Structure 1
Amino acid sequence: MLSPESAKIVQATLPAVGQALDEITTRFYGTMFADNPDLLRNLFNRSNQANGEQRQALAGSIAAFASMLINRPDERPDALLSRIAHKHASLGVTPDQYTIVHKYLLAAVADVLGDAVTPEVAAAWDEVYWLMAGALIAMEARLMPDEDDPWLRATVVERRSETPDTISLILKPPAPLPFAPGQYISVGVELPDGARQIRQYSLSSAPGRGDWRITVKRVRGAGPDGEVSGWLHANVKAGDELTVSRPYGDLALAEGDTPLLLASAGIGGTPMLSMLDHLVATGSTRQVIVVHADRSPADHAHRKELVNLVDALPGATLYRWYEEAGDCSCDPAPLLGHADLSGIELPPGLVAYLCGPLPFMRGVRTELLRRGVPARAVHYEVFGPDLWLGQD
């Protein structure tokens, strides 16, 4: 909770800081990476820096946290910060790195806003930063193992081609490690230029099988080609070892008997496969509505597996939309176009899990809220920086 003095200052200056956040975060990252180039090479996602998404995500998280401190001072920040904490834990972020970020972020605020940043204003926003950083450090400490090296070496048992641009890798971790359906692992690779880059991939099969499966879509066309996905596609084969994290992620299927909506698009279907596989393995009779949208049947990774899993659940129904029909003898027959939930009956007490591109998730969430599903019952996962945070 902010001190009363700082709360007044932050409330008064939040509009000016908010309007300048893009310039502030641009200045922040530029100066921090100039002085600490290894952070960009070995921790931060270079592609997200190049396309500006990481700056947008940081700005959104700061604005959302500051607004919460002002407008909902008695609310714990855990729900707001959980997704960030899981991502940081999967990357191996350390408490001392928050001190580095603090130095450059607060300097960027002073540089951009100039004389408006009086000592009192600087102290108030310093308090905001350390409240946010302190909450994240505490959450990450609870998530991360108490070990010097948080990384593991997992053996690639099998490589499978799922679509022309998607592969799945079956990994054997060094010891059995539990995870919740819907979680992900980080994969770190050393690229040809010597940089170590890290990406997250959902575990796309059920827990308790003794191995992990990740599904990797090669990123091409929309901006820079994916550095890590391209390297994995070009180089990894059975028998290789990969550097991976333990499982993390707050999009985790809750146990119980409430009806479920699992809505995904594109490669966002991977955490839903893990949830469905788990429901089948545990003999669940829950009512499950499965919605998936994709470019075409040929682009839909694990298409037949999805149908088989839904068929194995007595309470499950599948709805699919494809932008292009392609050559598909699909049963049940898919719909053409974009996903539209308006004609699907939603049972009371529904809990929804969403994963896919932001426009898809925004559309689904808007429809769910319009039809009375409470916001607290809608959970989502974003591949990459969370550009939704602060815009919701």
Structure 2
Amino acid sequence: MIELLAPAGDLDKLKIAILYGADAVFVGGKQFSLRANASNFTYDDLVEGCKFAHDRQKKVYVTTNVIPHEADKEGLIEYLKSLEAAKVDAIIAASPFIIETALNNTSLEVHISTQQSIMNVPTVNYWKEKGASRVVLARDMDLEEIAYITKHTDTEIEVFIHGGMCAGYSGRCALSNHLTNRDANRGGCAHTCRWFFDYQKSLQKEHEVPFSMGSKDLSAVREITRLIDMGVASLKIEGRMKSLHYIATVVQTYRRIIDEYTKTKTIQNYEMYEDMLKHAENRETSHGFFHGLPEVSEQLFEKRSERVMQNFVGLVLDYNEETKMATVETKNVFLMEELEVFSPVHESKVFNNTKMFNKDGEEITRAARAREHVLVHIPFKVHPFDMIRAKRF
């Protein structure tokens, strides 16, 4: 069975990813991770997260994918042993130093990060001989190249299917370091490729619109079936910095695609799944390198419209079946309006919000304070971790 691998920037996101259909999650610890600005996991978080996952027969992988300088080496063995003690299932690493240290000093499974830019069979086999159990391929590969590798190696292959694409070669970029002194390969990426830049003076009249050099986000809805058929072991979603709602929406969409194809060997309605993803997306998407070198239409060279998504308005904490009142933690402003419940355990349902109370029991018509607990009358049963979306967006 193919694995659906989801990002989790903190413990709540780990739980959401698993509940909404992920087979495994990848997280960052407090050290040696490429998302230094994410919340990341303390040791206690890792212990709790691993228990939550393992109780549901799911897995947890920890990113240790920095490219360490001499000053970054201290404490690596102790850190890796702490991951082992927390019962982490594997680490994802790019540096030969970290990979070798883990293999020689722990029983941790090692997955080779996409930062290694692996694009051919000999390199896959090299890392297998070193002791790695999985290779995450470079993101700059087309479907035919991926199929050739999966056919000619028995090493587990992991492929990115959704999320941000890096302008650097397979994620290795010096723009951030050069322009902001924030090292992308040590966890400090400033996403410089998404900035807007002015043309030099001689071209300003002809090109008055600023340009960027970023790519559209990856979305592989229509490529999943081929990846399954060619024997890819794990399908990976990018986005440890993304919201709870984004993770739930994207994970559930791909879960349904995988399950439909596994059961029926066909996909009846790709458009339905693409529409599901639109609830979470705020950037344009493309198929990346899957069908060859990206064309101009897959890039973001000029000003584009990115909207802040505010349709996720509440997270269900509890439900009283007698009163039909749900305790909801607010995420964005919502009113007495049509709302949709998005759930990991039942199909989405719509209701009209006709009755709502604040924490003091006072009836209200507007929930506006972030993370406030309010009571909302919902005429059908809902469950903890169900999400409420506003239909007006």
Whether the TM-score (by the shorter chain) exceeds 0.5 is no
Which structure ranks higher in relative contact order (CA pairs < 8 Å, sequence separation ≥ 6)? 1
- The structure richer in strand per residue is 2
TM-score by length of 2: 0.30
TM-score by length of 1: 0.30
- The structure richer in helix per residue is 1
